Structure 1
Amino acid sequence: MKQGVFYAIAAYFMWGLLPLYWKVFQAMGAWEILAHRIIWSVLFVAIIIVVTKRIRKLRESVSGAKMIGALIVCSLLISANWLLYIWAVNNDQVMQTSLGYYINPLITVLMGVIFLKEKMHVGQWVSLVLAACGVLYITIQYGEFPWIALSLALTFAFYGLAKKVVKLEAIIGLAWETLFVAPIALAYLIWLQISGTETISLLAWWQVLLLTLAGVGTALPLYWFAQAAIRLPLSMVGFIQYLSPTISLLSAIFLFHEPFTTTHLISFSLIWSALIIFTISSLRRKPASVSMKTGAPIKKEA
């Protein structure tokens, strides 16, 4: 139990600190950062797979057109999510990323109803209505739709649907998802070099060194999360998952000095209320649940 709590807190704490990490490369374009993240993730995950002797498992994990198609969809969705997140952070929209990951579990449940014909109970419907009111309120007050937040939530929700078809462990899944887009990322980086439009040359040596650790920052929290899911009850993981957007929100306000107005307070309060009702209601009913970060059902194993 203690190990599980440590792994869960470490995973969500690291995810919550990602805005600080991506801000280091603010001089670069979001597409270039994404390409580097994919390439370094492939290399780091490859090292893990070789060291843990999972090459055969990686090779045998994919079979059939349905599995390959689902993995390609996963690959495209997670790449889009990463791109949106990096762009938002480096364009001073960290608060919207926080909003997106607060509403993500609610959107995920709604996707289950729409596409998987799952049933929702009263508490979940109340939560969705409150969250919708929060989004609608901030849209009306500012006259601008929070497209970043909803795009992040939707890409993760659809990613979760695709993962229900794939059903691979975190590292193996990440390996395939990054491998599918790695050739595109590598070709893009080569094109930037040839055309002289790359921006990595604007970074200091220590920033370049940190960029090479993007693979570690991507794979390590996924591994920690997987370890936590094995050791902890679903209810505890459900509570800890809100650590990540909370850290991002606090970073947006106190470190990046993004404005947090009364409108933000009312909107976030509606969403926080929705999450409280959703969590309490889900704990009472104890339904099969979906992970915020992986989109896959969390199973407690012996």
Structure 2
Amino acid sequence: MNPGELRRRAANGGRGLTLQLAYRPPYAWERLRDFLDQRSINGLEWVGDDHYGRCFAWQGAKGHFTAHHEPQHHRFSVTLELDRLASLKAVVGNIRRVLDLDADSTAIEAHLAQTAPGLKLVEGLRLPGIWSQFEAGIKAILGQQVSVAAARRLAQILVDTLGEREDEAASEGRRRFPEPAAIAASDLAFLGMPGARRDTLRRLAEWHLAHGHDEDAQAWLTLKGIGPWTVDYARMRGASHPDIWLGGDLGVKKALGELDGADPAAASPWRSYLTFQLWNR
């Protein structure tokens, strides 16, 4: 189904759409689902055995979606609420990116098998995306020097405190990830974090207010408190760059040390996938 067909269906049926997004198998849904679930933020995201969904703001539009996996058809059936149909193509493209639906896993894994012969590959492993580089960068800063569970708790507090409610008339419910303006204007004391890290969060938010969401995260290296790992993580998950090597990550170092003859440089242009394969050992 092309975007034009989706627009016609939306016009006939109001704000709600149902669409099918296909992928080329294999697709390791359980691994992607579990990775997203371990990091999901209540109200912002929802994850179940066969689905992933979230609230979003994107290119002038706001809404939410739920993607239900239909493995027998090699696709996701997506229900989407969107308040601005002009942004439909961009929103659908970003859903495809977050779920990594356009990857050719067979070709990627054939390449990785040659460069890391001792690595038992997870068939169909995809890159679990984050909705934007900004959100990925904020989460990476929150996760500096703490566990995944602690980073998730901090992100939950941030969303609960500064995230815009999807329905402002409701006292509870779904929220979007905080906009840069909301983070830049807050002292973030409610996070209970050291002042230097709160300053880094605000610097990143202020940078986005000045430059927008589309700039390459490499420019963040000019910001105090942001180093290569944060930038690479944001590019890998917030922009789904396929060739990011997180060689400084402790989990990656440990897994790589257990292999003989693995050459990360030779894994290019698919080093992001090698990183996730090592994380999944």
Instruction: Please report the TM-score for the alignment, with normalisation by the length of structure 2.
Output: 0.29
Give the helix-richer structure, 1 or 2. 1
Instruction: Please report the TM-score for the alignment, with normalisation by the length of structure 1.
Output: 0.27
Give the strand-richer structure, 1 or 2. 2
Higher relative contact order (CA 8 A, sep 6+): 1
